[in-house]
């Protein structure tokens, strides 16, 4: 969802792979930081290769504001219909597509996932931020994956954490 805020701020119609990686940076900074040499390298990578230089706490504030201020809903008296008044520059109601790169990495992450969870009555792969980064690195032909390999990320530790079998992955869903 934070990737939607980033894509909206960039005035894009599709969520790009780099937007999702920047969203992982914002939402899971402490969790992902251990795979990088230091915080500055991680933040520089996001700014340079993901085109997102806004501080992660400021992006988090954008997200919080959007959630706390949804569009107004106006009901017509004595009728079941209603309509929403959207705020200018809000991402609510915007339908984002997914770029081809993002779809390819999602598919790779689903194949690599050692954990399955039940969602809406279906068994689906459980994709963690670590697994998504690992899938980005492993997917052939993804430029951002090549850049991740070159930047000094600890691939061995990332693979170990990403492919770890969890005891109860359903408890991690929200």
Cα angle value 46/51/136 (rounded, 5°) = 55
pLDDT of residue 24: 95
d(CA 13, CA 99): 9
User: Number of folded domains in the chain?
Assistant: 1
Tens-digit pLDDT profile for residues 25-80: 999 999 999 999 999 999 999 999 999 998 888 888 887 887 787 766 666 666 66
pLDDT of residue 81: 64
pLDDT of residue 96: 87
Tens-digit pLDDT profile for residues 116-149: 888 888 888 999 999 999 999 999 999 999 999 9
124 forms beta bridges with: 117
* DSSP letter assigned to residue 100: H
pLDDT of residue 168: 78
Q: What is the CATH number of the domain that holds 45?
A: 1.10.1780
What are the Cα distances from residue 90, in Å, to 1, 16, 58, 66, 73?
A: 13, 19, 16, 7, 14
pLDDT of residue 104: 96
| Backbone angles phi and psi of 119, in degrees to 5 | -135, 120
Q: What is the span of the domain harbouring residue 37?
A: 2-172
């Amino acid at each position: 969802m934070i990737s939607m805020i980033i894509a909206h701020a960039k005035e894009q119609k599709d969520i790009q792979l780099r937007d999702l990686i920047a969203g992982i940076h914002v939402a899971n900074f402490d969790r992902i930081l251990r795979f990088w040499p230091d915080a500055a390298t991680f933040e520089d990578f996001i700014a340079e290769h993901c085109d997102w230089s806004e501080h992660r706490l400021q992006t988090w504030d954008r997200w919080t504001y959007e959630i706390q201020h949804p569009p107004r809903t106006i009901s017509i008296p004595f009728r079941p219909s209603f309509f929403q008044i959207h705020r200018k520059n809000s991402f609510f109601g915007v339908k984002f597509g997914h770029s081809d790169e993002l779809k390819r990495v999602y598919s790779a992450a689903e194949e690599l996932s050692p954990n399955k969870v039940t969602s809406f009555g279906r068994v689906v792969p459980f994709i963690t931020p670590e697994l998504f980064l690992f899938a980005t690195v492993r997917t052939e032909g993804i430029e951002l994956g090549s850049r991740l390999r070159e930047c000094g990320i600890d691939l061995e530790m990332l693979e170990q954490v990403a492919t770890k079998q969890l005891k109860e992955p359903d408890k991690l869903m929200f």
